[in-house]
Structure 1
Amino acid sequence: MTNSLLTTLLNMKQLNKYESIAFLFGGLLMVTGAGLYAFFLIQPVSCWVMLVGAIIFVLMQTRQRYTGTQLTIRRLRKIMTFAGIGFILAGLFMVEDSYFFLRPFVANSISGYSTYINIIHHNWVILLLISAVLEMYTTHRINYELRKESPLEG
């Protein structure tokens, strides 16, 4: 390894074994919850599975910090944080679609009900899609930037 690659890797706080397991478990819960919810299987439970998985996934992702000075990676990490917020919001929207906690407070009139339907009803799909695309983009770009800065010596 070159010295600059070693320095860059030292600037990324790596997760320990248990944090890595929690990170993977959170991702698995997110996928399982979203899949079950999308196929109308035990929706009152699967929405909570998705939300808990998203919270675990995002918490473990924020534990992996970048302390280096490369602006591109710092910007990508901020975008990744935005995607994490989207995952949690998608889980909250799923819970709202199943239990209608906010509807009695928001939908007091026809216009309130229309606004509620336009903003919340089944829009978890859009949040989840946008967050997943941002997550994939930032993950691949961070990997590319780390390799571009310090290629391995052959």
Structure 2
Amino acid sequence: MAGAILLLIGAVLQMTRWEFSPYIYTVGAVMFGYVQVVGNRYDGASFIIKRLRRQQIFGAIALVFAGVLMFTMQRNEWVVCLTIAAVLELYTAFRIPQELEKEK
């Protein structure tokens, strides 16, 4: 939860061009990504859930990459990467529980 809050605060502060906002965002993205990768394991046999988990991990990696873009790019290219990551995370957040219910 703390990672998601730092991620949100860092993204909002980046729009004001505060110099420490990329650091806040990147720390939040790494914390959020760590929980996505390590905390949510799936050991079942469902191909659909495994595919959704890969998409979720890709979304977490894209969140961290958006933080790297905040440091390296001068314009707002990071917003595109953040949007892609947010869509993937949102999609998988709704679909994985649905598929887990079907599996039961």
Scaled by the length of structure 2, the TM-score of the pair is 0.92
Question: What amino acid is aligned across from residue 146 of structure 1 in structure 2?
Answer: L
Question: What amino acid is aligned across from residue 145 of structure 1 in structure 2?
Answer: E
Q: What's the CA shift string for 1:103-122, capped at 9, x where partnerless?
A: xxxxxxxxxxxxxxxxxx42
Whether 1:87 aligns to 2:84 is no
Q: Residue 128 of structure 1 corresponds to which residue in structure 2?
A: 82
Matches within 5 A, 1:111-150: 121-150=75-104
Whether 1:54 aligns to 2:29 is yes
Q: Residue 4 of structure 2 corresponds to which residue in structure 1?
A: 27
Note the residue ranges of structure 2 that are not aligned, 5 or more in a row.
none
Q: Distance in 1 between matches of 2:103 and 2:36?
A: 23
With a CA cutoff of 8 Å and minimum separation of 6, indicate the structure with the bigger relative contact order: 1
Q: Distance in 1 between matches of 2:8 and 2:68?
A: 15
Note the residue ranges of structure 1 that are not aligned, 5 or more in a row.
1-23, 99-120
Structure 1 or 2, whichever has the larger Rg, is 1
Q: Distance in 2 between matches of 1:61 and 1:80?
A: 7
Runs of 4+ in 1 over 4 A off after TM superposition: none
Q: Residue 77 of structure 1 corresponds to which residue in structure 2?
A: 53
Q: Residue 106 of structure 1 corresponds to which residue in structure 2?
A: none
Q: Distance in 1 between matches of 2:57 and 2:77?
A: 20
1:51 positional shift: 0.5
Bigger drift between 131-140 and 59-68 goes to: 59-68
Look up the SS of the partner of 1:67 in the other structure.
coil
Q: Distance in 1 between matches of 2:73 and 2:6?
A: 19
Q: What's the CA shift string for 1:109-136, capped at 9, x where partnerless?
A: xxxxxxxxxxxx4210000001000000
What is the root-mean-square deviation in Å for CA atoms of aligned residues? Answer: 1.3
Q: Distance in 2 between matches of 1:62 and 1:85?
A: 9
1:41 positional shift: 5.0
1:148 positional shift: 2.3
